[in-house]
Structure 1
Amino acid sequence: MTAAADERTKADVLDVARQQVAERGIGLDEAQVLEVLRLPDDRIPELLALAHEVRMRWCGPEVEVEGIVSVKTGGCPEDCHFCSQSGQFTSPVRSAWLDIPGLVTAARETAATGASEFCIVAAVRGPDKRLMSQVREGIKAIRADGNDIQIACSLGMLTQAQVDELVEMGVHRYNHNLETARSHFPDVVTTHSWEERWDTLRMVHAAGMEVCCGGIIGMGETVEQRAEFAVQLAELDPHEVPMNFLIPQPGTPYEDYDVVDGRDALRTVAAFRLALPRTILRFAGGRELTLGDLGAEQGMLGGINAIIVGNYLTNLGRPAQQDLDMLTELNMPIKALGETL
């Protein structure tokens, strides 16, 4: 028997996924995700179609739109090798704080796009009293402005007391990315551990906040580690997984890394959807560079059901209206603000 014939005698991973994921809503395991990630290029259209079917079956047609703003930029003491905000690297980003009026304006502009989610982000290891106070005052000011947009935060690693304080402020979702597979993390960050991030996420989950946790594809991880990462996220059971693709930032250790190939990016998006059938899967940083306009549409039809509009923390994104127009052309309704409250 030839190798090709032998392959055909095996249960095809997409046939298995149709029964297991599309029909029963059970995510693929690590070995199955790895099979998907190894599918040849000529099967990508079939894979994307199946991932879209899973998304529609278990998440529905709506797309959640989010805007993000950095309340504290740069000067971070950690050495995350992908990040231009680390104070340990020579990247051109410098430390800066956004004042409360600026935060209110950013929230207002985000709501005007139709977004249901506004995320306040800070480049820190974890929040100190000053930052927690600024977030509290910022949320009060956003509400006083008559803005009912859902507010999420991404402030680094937390203590239990800080988790409780954010809950009391009305923060409904907390973002803290694991960034990559546990086995690869020590090659990406040395100033804190994967386990420290995991502990924060467990506390957030236990406190009743929605957990937003994803990572970055293209940081030198193997395809096996991408599969590992997908199932580790599934174990965490996050409400949302943002999918970023590495933007090689000047002055960081990854400045000379290659941009992820568009086909590999689409394969990865679809594989993560098959591992996480019921989770919000959000296009985040790097999609414009990796996929371009056409690839973004393919991703939206390949398992993605949420998107960040406008600019990112230190990189420009596509104009928000361009993404909103894309969703209209794809007949994908935007999740209404009132339905998230």
Structure 2
Amino acid sequence: MPSGAAWSDELRAACSQVLAQGVGLSESQVLEVLRLPDNALDELLGLAHAVRMRWCGPEVEVEGIVSLKTGGCPEDCHFCSQSGLFASPVRSAWLDVPMLVEAARQTAKTGATEFCIVAAVRGPDERLMSQVAAGIAAIKDEIDINIACSLGMLTPDQVGELAAMGVHRYNHNLETARSHFPNAVTTHTWEERWETLRLVREAGMEVCCGGIVGMGESPEQRAEFAGQLAALTPDEVPLNFLNPRPGTPFGELEPMSGPDALRTVAAFRLALPRTVLRFAGGRELTLGDLGARRGLLGGINAVIVGNYLTTLGRPAESDIDLLGELQMPIKALNETL
């Protein structure tokens, strides 16, 4: 357990509770973790890794994602180059069903158990729902993989349709703390996103909900966000680090420092000891290869392999090789059902 002078007795006791009982840190305790100095980082990452191993095990869940509908989104998410409101270089495009099937096939070849179909929309219209239904049916006919979706905000009827299609997990990120959300998005509210997540949970699909750190939020707001995610109890939390996109309102922000990113990884693991915590976008810029290794040994137990929606990721083979080197087995499909 932590023994350095940087750790208060109260924080040391709280972390002992997380490891022994699987009870996550409170918002105020997460803030203490985020304020730890760099010389406490190795100790912190070691504790977060022990918590991950104790409550999640050594397996790593691998996922691939594909954009069914790219660009032209009517929302003004300040971090996103797919917004049609900004002078960003992403063009609107659609994939057809054969392209979706091929993307799922290539994802499955990596050993991934999850394939997520994503669309840049406020919420799906009838055309998009029909395309998703056709794509899911075609994938299920040919490939043994779980299918997830991320299609924006949903109506109750749409939630029911997706559940009937066999969608395993639905992603809808809260993105940031409720108090910071109006600084990142103005065309819809944090509460609207929360309502979609409530509907997804009630329909029996797994809930995937995370966000992006490094969007100008304070440490207090980062701790607030961790607490709000813990209250939601999602099955998965994808943790993204802002990769500033040219032409967006956040395009001039400085990327998060490596130590701050790793502190955040560990803090979220201690707030969410039993949750799938996934390395997602921005880790290549923020952490690089060495930092990615430290994150996997500091609380992360899932990765997105290959490219993201508008930015390049690491080659899938590099992540798979790293997992092998770290002796972290890829979670089998039957363990995720």
Q: What TM-score does the superposition give when structure 1 sets the normalisation length?
A: 0.96
SS of the equivalent of 2:237 reads strand
Structure 1 partner of 2:19:
22
Structure 2 partner of 1:3:
none
> What is the letter of the counterpart of residue 82 of structure 1?
F
Corresponding position: 1:122 with 2:108: no
Describe the superposition over 1:1-40 as per-residue Cα deviations: whole angstroms up to 9, x where unpaired: xxxxxx9698435522332100011100011000000000
Aligned mates of 1:304, 1:133 — CA distance in 2: 35
Structure 1 partner of 2:144:
148
Once the 2 structures are TM-superposed, how far is the Cα of residue 206 of structure 1 from its aligned partner? 1.1
> What is the letter of the counterpart of residue 194 of structure 1?
W
SS of the equivalent of 1:43 reads helix
Structure 2 partner of 1:31:
28
Once the 2 structures are TM-superposed, how far is the Cα of residue 268 of structure 1 from its aligned partner? 0.3
Q: Is contact 2:11–2:32 with CA below 8 Å preserved after alignment?
A: no
Task: Pick one of 55, 58, 81 that aligns with 1:58.
Answer: 55
> What is the letter of the counterpart of residue 16 of structure 1?
A
**In the superposition, relative to structure 1, how do residues 270 and 8 fare at CA in structure 2: closer, same or farther (>3 Å)?**
closer
Structure 2 partner of 1:81:
78
> What is the letter of the counterpart of residue 281 of structure 2?
G
Corresponding position: 1:262 with 2:233: no
Q: Is contact 1:13–1:35 with CA below 8 Å preserved after alignment?
A: no
Describe the superposition over 1:227-270 as per-residue Cα deviations: whole angstroms up to 9, x where unpaired: 00000000000000000000100110111110100000000000
Task: Pick one of 157, 162, 166 that aligns with 2:162.
Answer: 166
Aligned mates of 1:269, 1:335 — CA distance in 2: 20
**In the superposition, relative to structure 1, how do residues 105 and 10 fare at CA in structure 2: closer, same or farther (>3 Å)?**
closer
**In the superposition, relative to structure 1, how do residues 189 and 9 fare at CA in structure 2: closer, same or farther (>3 Å)?**
closer
Describe the superposition over 1:274-301 as per-residue Cα deviations: whole angstroms up to 9, x where unpaired: 0000000000000000000000000000
Q: Is contact 2:148–2:171 with CA below 8 Å preserved after alignment?
A: yes
After the TM superposition, which residues 177-256 of structure 1 pair with which residues of structure 2 at under 5 Å, given as runs? 177-256=173-252
Aligned mates of 2:76, 2:30 — CA distance in 1: 30
SS of the equivalent of 2:278 reads strand
SS of the equivalent of 1:92 reads coil
Structure 2 partner of 1:4:
none
Once the 2 structures are TM-superposed, how far is the Cα of residue 172 of structure 1 from its aligned partner? 1.0
> What is the letter of the counterpart of residue 137 of structure 1?
A
> What is the letter of the counterpart of residue 130 of structure 2?
S
SS of the equivalent of 1:198 reads helix
**In the superposition, relative to structure 1, how do residues 224 and 9 fare at CA in structure 2: closer, same or farther (>3 Å)?**
closer
After the TM superposition, which residues 93-112 of structure 1 pair with which residues of structure 2 at under 5 Å, given as runs? 93-112=90-109
Aligned mates of 1:161, 1:203 — CA distance in 2: 10
> What is the letter of the counterpart of residue 168 of structure 1?
A
Aligned mates of 1:266, 1:187 — CA distance in 2: 24
Structure 2 partner of 1:309:
305
> What is the letter of the counterpart of residue 29 of structure 1?
S
Describe the superposition over 1:150-200 as per-residue Cα deviations: whole angstroms up to 9, x where unpaired: 000000000000000000000010000000000000000000000000000
SS of the equivalent of 2:229 reads helix
Aligned mates of 1:24, 1:264 — CA distance in 2: 27
Aligned mates of 2:331, 2:253 — CA distance in 1: 36
Q: What TM-score does the superposition give when structure 2 sets the normalisation length?
A: 0.97
Q: Which runs of 5+ in 1 are unaligned?
A: 1-6
Structure 2 partner of 1:327:
323
Q: Is contact 1:157–1:197 with CA below 8 Å preserved after alignment?
A: yes
Q: Is contact 1:73–1:94 with CA below 8 Å preserved after alignment?
A: yes
Task: Pick one of 32, 37, 40 that aligns with 2:37.
Answer: 40
SS of the equivalent of 1:234 reads helix
Aligned mates of 2:207, 2:282 — CA distance in 1: 22
Q: Is contact 2:6–2:36 with CA below 8 Å preserved after alignment?
A: no
Once the 2 structures are TM-superposed, how far is the Cα of residue 339 of structure 1 from its aligned partner? 2.4
SS of the equivalent of 1:153 reads strand
Aligned mates of 1:273, 1:339 — CA distance in 2: 21
